[in-house]
Amino acid sequence: MKRLASATLMSPTDDKPRRISYATSSLRWMMFALGWLCVGIGVAGIILPGLPGTVFLILAAWLFSRSSPRFEAWLLGHPRLGPSVVRWRERGAVPRWAQFVATGSMAFSFGLMAYTGVPPAGLIPAGLVMLACAIYLLTRPTA
Q: What is the pLDDT along the chain (143 residues), one digit of tens a residue?
A: 444 444 444 555 555 555 555 556 677 788 888 989 988 888 887 776 666 676 787 788 778 777 777 777 887 888 887 888 788 778 888 888 888 888 888 888 888 888 888 888 888 988 898 898 889 888 988 86
Query: Can you state the angle between helices 82-91 and 69-77, rounded to 10 degrees?
Result: 110
The one-letter amino acid code at 56 reads F
Q: Give the number of other Cβ atoms within 10 Å of residue 142's Cβ.
A: 12
Q: Which amino acid is at 47?
A: I
Candidates 11, 6, 15, 10; CA nearest to 86 is 11
Q: Which of 75, 89, 82 is nearest to 20 (CA)?
A: 89
What pTM value is reported for the model? 0.55
